[in-house]
Structure 1
Amino acid sequence: MKQRTERFEMRLTPEEAAGIREKSKRYHSVSNFIRMAVNEFSDTDAKTRLELCNDTARLCRKFQDELSWMGSNLNQAVKRANELAVAGLLSESYFKDILAPMIEGVEKMIKAVKSEVQPSAIAY
C-alpha cells in the first residue's frame, strides 16, 4: 500500500463536521469514510443502483396507497354484503353492481403493479 502523504483541507460548519464524524464511526476514520464516499459517489453503477432503488420506493409507495384505498373500499362493501346476507336482504344485483366492479378494480391494480415492477426492471 502506498504511503498517504497528501493532505486536503476543507471548511465545514460545526454541524457538518459533527455529522461527518457521526457517519464515519463505522469506517474507523473520517478519512476512510470520505475516501469510500467519493469512490462510491463517482461510481456510475452505484448511482444507477441508487436511482433504481429510489424509483422502486416511489412505485411501492404509490401502489401501496392505491391498494390501501381500494382495499378499504372493498372491505366496506364486503362487510355490508355480509350484514345484508345475515339479514336475508342480499340481492344478486349487489354482487353484480357493487362488489364485482370493486374486485375487478383491485385485480387491475394488482396487474398494473406486476407490469410496472418487472424483475428485469430491478437490475442490481
Structure 2
Amino acid sequence: MNRRIKRIELRLTEAEAQFIREKSKGYRSVSQYIRDAVAEFSDTDAKRRLELINELGKLYREYHNELFHLSANLNQVVKRANELAVAGLLSKSYLEKTVIPAVRGIEGTVSAIRSALLDVTKQATLLHRGK
C-alpha cells in the first residue's frame, strides 16, 4: 500500500482557504479534493469537454440574438404580406420575389445555426462517452 507521506506547502489567502474548504465538503478530506481536482484538470478530454461547453454556450448566446432578429423580420414580412393579400394588393410576383426569398433566407440561417449547434453538441457527447 502506498502511504501518503509527502507534503506540498501551499500559501493561500484566508478567502482562498475558505473557498477550498467549502468546495471540498463532499470529499473525505481537502487533500482528496485537491488530488481529484488536479487529476481532472490534467485530463485532456476533460479540458476539451470544458472548451466545448464554453464554445456551445458562446454559440447559444450569439445565435439567440440572431434568432430573435430573424423572428422579428419574418414576423414583419408575413404581416405585411397578409395586409397586402387582404387588401388585394399582393401580386404573385411580389410573393415570389419578396416574401418567399425572405422566408427561405431565414430558413437557411436557422438551418445553419441548428447544424453548428448540433456539431458542437455531438463532439461534446462523443468526448463525454470517452470515444
Instruction: Please tell me the TM-score bracket, short chain as reference.
Output: 0.7 to 0.9
- The answer to whether 1:37 aligns with 2:37 is yes
Separation in structure 1 between the aligned mates of residue 57 and residue 84 of structure 2, nearest angstrom = 40
Which stretches in structure 1 are left out of the alignment for 5+ residues? none
Say if 1:74 and 1:99, in contact at 8 Å, map to a contact too: no
Aligned residues: CA RMSD: 2.5
Say if 1:81 and 1:90, in contact at 8 Å, map to a contact too: yes
Q: Note closer, same or farther for the CA distance 1:21–1:80 as it changes in structure 2 (3 Å cut).
A: farther
1:9 maps to 9
Q: Which one-letter code corresponds to 1:25 in the other structure? A: K
**Structure ranking higher on relative contact order (CA contacts 8 Å, 6+ apart):** 2
Which stretches in structure 2 are left out of the alignment for 5+ residues? none
Separation in structure 2 between the aligned mates of residue 97 and residue 27 of structure 1, nearest angstrom = 65
Aligned identity (percent) is 52
2:63 maps to 63
Q: Note closer, same or farther for the CA distance 1:40–1:89 as it changes in structure 2 (3 Å cut).
A: same
1:72 maps to 72
Separation in structure 1 between the aligned mates of residue 28 and residue 83 of structure 2, nearest angstrom = 63
SS in 2 for 1:45: helix
2:23 maps to 23
Separation in structure 2 between the aligned mates of residue 79 and residue 71 of structure 1, nearest angstrom = 12
Aligned length: 124
Normalised to the residue count of structure 2, the TM-score between the two structures is 0.73
Question: C-alpha offsets along residues 6-55 of structure 1, whole Å, 9 cap, x if unaligned?
Answer: 22221111221122222222224321211111001111121122112222
Separation in structure 1 between the aligned mates of residue 11 and residue 74 of structure 2, nearest angstrom = 57
Separation in structure 2 between the aligned mates of residue 30 and residue 22 of structure 1, nearest angstrom = 9
Normalised to the residue count of structure 1, the TM-score between the two structures is 0.77
